């Protein structure tokens, strides 16, 4: 504690000695005027008027507490009328310090976009950045200053419901997407009325919860933590993320909220993070049931000491910090540091200039139904869809649907669904179905004049009612082609939505089998917030599109792909297991001392005796209506110097099919021998390119020693001279290879 105290004093002194910025001067002056109670107030965040993801603590009269300067921030208050009213109360406090309004703006706001995992399947960073920016613009117009996004947790276990909120299993892709989302949310900088503060969450390793069970423990080596789970956070911090949020889990026995190693050592010291850390909902108080803190007093002590700055909903700071200071357990400097971080952000947002800066009725009105944003959401939706399979029926790939299909049967419980298309975590207007384009409407509208439509729901999402089967079979029999929309319910993924079975629930697969038995060609749309297991469908249905949850324009995006107005280009951001028995499954695993091959004898090798090791669909996989040949891999040199070296990697890509289209060209490396074992493949670059049919181009990447660094057994980030393979292709199963050496 003494060491920490001295460091804080030293850093305060250093800031005063060297030129202070105007902002810091303002904040220091304000801090000097604040009482301890007022300081503690800044660290206190209350929930507003929306449903909660955890226990709500009764607060008595929140409004009078705001007037007394006992509240620094509110979450879940939507709409400028409401934020203005509360801000007016804050302006009655002694020092007139404005409130911060935060909310989970996870994948859109008024206009919803594909769930983040789905959007990541676009592998289109500019698109992802723009969608975050649109969300920020809409949210800021509704009075929000701060989104609790992006979630940058690497997640290798699809049983975990929160995989839908992130960018999937890969550290490299996850880091790039983290940067895009932070930049999108924060736009041209805090203080602009179309920017909100980003919050990289959940710090850290939440995605590695044992058994994929939400809120569960995490136990892993520090090497793994640093190499796989922390880099997306570092990337978000380097991109300027204003805030971070704690995670609920413990890491190797120490809850993340009270974890000095990740908060003080890594984040605030090593990475030089200048923003602030908010707890997750009640996570300071949850250190008591964790068995890490004796009571609220102890929890507050451990959280503030570790480096958690703002208390979301646990009340531990509000109720115990003053006593902790009086008892000499918490130096005021520690509280000052946290308060200062929060005030700096309020200043940067321009709230001290104008606390009502984000309370503009006209701006809000303009974002109520922004047509341009909807058009963009349609594009993002189409680009997020992944074509998993497209077999030939009567000599032609089934998709895109040909005009010769005179009658199309639309079947399944999601065809006419509305709010389901929002997906989980669309909390600002969860029940507003008015602007959503259902899948039925999107497809019927597009096929107007070309084909006639018959419809049957067939069954519900998750029960055993088969009474609709007959009608669905009849509909299929009348049609030339069937489009079936099946999947898990939209609220079966998300927070607290871990599933032990990740199959399509209820009798939906049974219905699918009955429809396939009619002999009609079937296109399957899979709606889900995670990779699902659907082996029978994969093996028996000719065409499959993975459609996640696509948001406001879902139906139009799906129609664009079905009819070929957009040629699908999505690539999976997570490996899809064959069955749950393979979980956790991820492409960048180690080789082991007894590597197995799917098509070889499985005795005494690292394999299951009853199941192949490979996934059903690999990370990075996704088809197109056209075909791309990737060939002629060449390296600019077969040696790279550890100091300042670089190697160019180039391939030729040709669109050899019948449609214009986009391809994601992916580069992977393998470090053949290391002081610690290295993954069989690691993504180190990708480029999404567009080629007209028949067109060819070459695609180049550059590798530098930084791309080859890894954490050694002493948890140091190092380069080691040695031999490397490089692979380029259109999935993690890329086999086109080259070779080079890293030399000292
Ligand atoms: C979630 C966070 C979210 C917070 C506020 C928690 O339960 O874990 O991701 O930001 O609630 O809604």
280 among known catalytic residues:
yes
In the block, which residue shows the tokens 């070779």?
739
To test the pocket of ligand 1, the residue of 284, 495, 497 to mutate (highest count of ligand atoms within 8 Å of its CB) is 495
Partners of 697 in the β-ladder: 653
57 pLDDT higher than 80:
no
Q: Which residues contact 64 (CB under 8 A, 6 or more apart)?
A: none
Q: Answer whether 495 contacts ligand 1 (Cβ < 6 A).
A: yes
Q: What are phi and psi of 86, to 5 degrees?
A: -70, -35
Listed range (2-16, 51-65, 172-186, 576-590) with the worst mean pLDDT:
2-16
Q: Which residue's CA is minimally distant from atom 8 of ligand 1?
A: 280
* CB 53 near ligand 1, within 6 Å: yes
Q: What is the DSSP letter of 504?
A: P
Question: With the C-alpha atoms ordered 501, 503, 504, 505, is the resulting torsion angle positive or negative?
Answer: negative
pLDDT tier for residue 516 given thresholds of 50, 70 and 90: very high
* Among 153, 157, 250, 280, the one annotated catalytic: 280
Q: What is the pTM of this model?
A: 0.96
Residue 131, classed as helix, strand or coil, is: helix
Distance from C-alpha of 389 to C-alpha of 622, rounded to nearest angstrom: 8
Residue 5, pLDDT score: 52
Mean pLDDT of 144-162: 98
Q: What are 339's strand-pairing partners?
A: none
Instruction: Report the length, in residues, of the chain.
Output: 744
Mean pLDDT in residue range 237-262 = 98
Ordered by where they begin, the domains of the chain are 2-363 (3.20.20.300), 385-581 (3.40.50.1700), 628-743 (2.60.40.10)
Ligand 1 centroid from CA 42, angstroms: 20
Calculate the dihedral angle through the C-alpha atoms of 389, 390, 393, 394, rounding to the nearest 10 degrees. -150
Continuous segment of H or E residues that includes residue 137: helix 125-141
3-class DSSP state for residue 683? strand
Any idea what DSSP says for residue 499? -
* Ligand 1 centroid, distance to 111 Cα (angstroms): 21
**Low-confidence winner among 10-24, 186-200, 306-320 (lowest mean pLDDT):** 10-24
C-beta of 281 in contact with ligand 1 (< 6 A): yes
pLDDT > 70? residue 18:
no
DSSP 185-240: HHTT-BTBTT--B-EEEEETTGGG-GGG-TT--B---HHHIIIIISHHHHHHHHTT
Confidence of residue 16 (pLDDT cuts 50, 70, 90): very low
**Nearest C-alpha neighbor of 673 from the set 709, 721, 705:** 721
User: Torsions phi, psi of 238, nearest 5?
Assistant: -65, -30
The pLDDT, as a whole number, for residue 623 is 98
């Amino acid at each position: 504690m003494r060491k920490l105290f001295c460091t804080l004093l030293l850093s305060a002194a250093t800031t005063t000695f060297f030129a202070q910025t105007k902002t810091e001067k303002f904040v220091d002056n304000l801090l000097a005027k604040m009482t301890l109670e007022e300081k503690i107030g800044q660290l206190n965040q209350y929930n507003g008027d929306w449903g909660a993801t955890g226990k709500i603590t009764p607060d008595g009269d929140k409004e009078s507490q705001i007037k007394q300067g006992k509240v620094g921030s509110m979450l879940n208050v939507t709409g400028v009328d409401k934020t203005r009213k509360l801000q007016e109360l804050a302006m009655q406090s002694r020092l007139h310090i404005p409130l911060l309004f935060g909310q989970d703006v996870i994948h859109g706001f008024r206009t919803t976009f594909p769930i983040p995992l789905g959007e990541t399947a676009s592998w289109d960073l500019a698109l992802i950045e723009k969608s975050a920016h649109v969300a920020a613009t809409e949210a800021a117009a509704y009075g929000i200053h701060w989104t609790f996004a992006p979630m940058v947790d690497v997640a290798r276990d699809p049983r975990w419901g929160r995989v839908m909120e992130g960018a999937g299993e890969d550290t490299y892709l996850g880091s790039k997407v983290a940067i895009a989302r932070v930049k999108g949310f924060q736009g041209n900088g805090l203080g602009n009325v179309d920017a909100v503060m980003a919050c990289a969450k959940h710090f850290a390793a939440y995605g590695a919860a044992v058994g994929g069970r939400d809120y569960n423990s995490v136990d892993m080596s520090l090497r793994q933590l640093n190499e796989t789970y922390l880099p997306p956070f570092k990337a978000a911090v380097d991109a300027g993320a204003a805030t971070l949020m704690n995670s609920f889990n413990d890491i190797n026995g120490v809850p993340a909220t009270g974890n000095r190693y990740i908060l003080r050592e890594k984040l605030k010291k090593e990475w030089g993070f200048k923003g602030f850390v908010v707890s997750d909902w009640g996570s300071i108080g949850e250190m008591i049931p964790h068995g890490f803190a004796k009571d609220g007093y102890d929890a507050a002590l451990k959280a503030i000491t570790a480096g958690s700055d703002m208390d979301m909903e646990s009340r531990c700071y509000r109720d115990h910090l003053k006593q902790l200071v009086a008892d000499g357990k918490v130096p005021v400097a520690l509280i000052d540091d946290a308060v200062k971080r929060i005030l700096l952000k309020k200043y940067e947002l321009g709230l001290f200039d104008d606390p009502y800066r984000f309370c503009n009725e006209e701006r809000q009105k303009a974002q109520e139904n922004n047509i341009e944003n909807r058009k963009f959401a349609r594009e993002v939706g189409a680009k997020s869809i992944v074509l998993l399979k497209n077999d030939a029926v009567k000599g032609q790939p089934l998709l895109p649907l040909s005009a010769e299909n005179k009658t199309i049967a639309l079947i399944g419980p999601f065809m006419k669904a509305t709010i389901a298309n929002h997906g989980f975590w669309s909390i600002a207007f969860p029940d507003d179905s008015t602007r959503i384009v259902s899948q039925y409407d999107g497809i019927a509208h597009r096929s107007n004049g070309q084909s006639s439509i018959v419809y049957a729901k067939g069954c519900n999402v998750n029960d055993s009612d088969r009474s609709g089967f007959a009608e669905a079979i009849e509909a299929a029999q009348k049609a030339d082609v069937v489009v079936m929309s099946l999947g898990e319910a939209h609220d079966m993924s998300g927070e607290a939505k871990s599933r032990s079975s990740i199959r399509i629930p209820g009798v939906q697969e049974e219905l699918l089998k009955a429809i396939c038995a009619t002999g009609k060609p079937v296109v399957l749309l899979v709606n889900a917030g995670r990779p699902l297991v659907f082996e029978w469908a994969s093996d028996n249905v000719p065409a499959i599109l993975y459609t996640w949850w696509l948001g406001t324009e879902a139906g139009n995006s799906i129609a664009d792909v079905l009819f070929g107005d957009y040629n699908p280009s999505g690539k999976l951001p997570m490996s899809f297991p064959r069955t749950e028995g393979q979980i956790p499954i991820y492409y960048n695993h180690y080789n082991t001392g007894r590597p197995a091959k799917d098509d070889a004898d499985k005795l005494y090798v690292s394999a299951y005796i009853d199941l192949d090791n490979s996934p059903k669909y690999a990370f990075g996989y996704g088809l197109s209506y056209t075909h791309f040949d990737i060939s002629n891999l060449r390296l600019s040199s077969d040696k790279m110097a550890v100091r300042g070296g670089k190697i160019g990697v180039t391939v030729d890509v040709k669109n050899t099919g019948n449609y214009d289209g986009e391809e994601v060209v992916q580069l992977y490396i393998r470090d053949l021998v290391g002081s610690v074992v290295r993954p069989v493949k690691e993504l180190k670059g990708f480029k999404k390119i567009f080629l007209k049919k028949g067109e060819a181009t070459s695609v180049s990447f550059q590798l530098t020693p930084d791309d080859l660094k890894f954490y050694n057994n002493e948890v140091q980030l190092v380069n080691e001279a040695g031999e490397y393979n490089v692979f380029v292709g259109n999935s993690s199963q890329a086999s086109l290879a080259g070779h080079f050496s890293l030399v000292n």
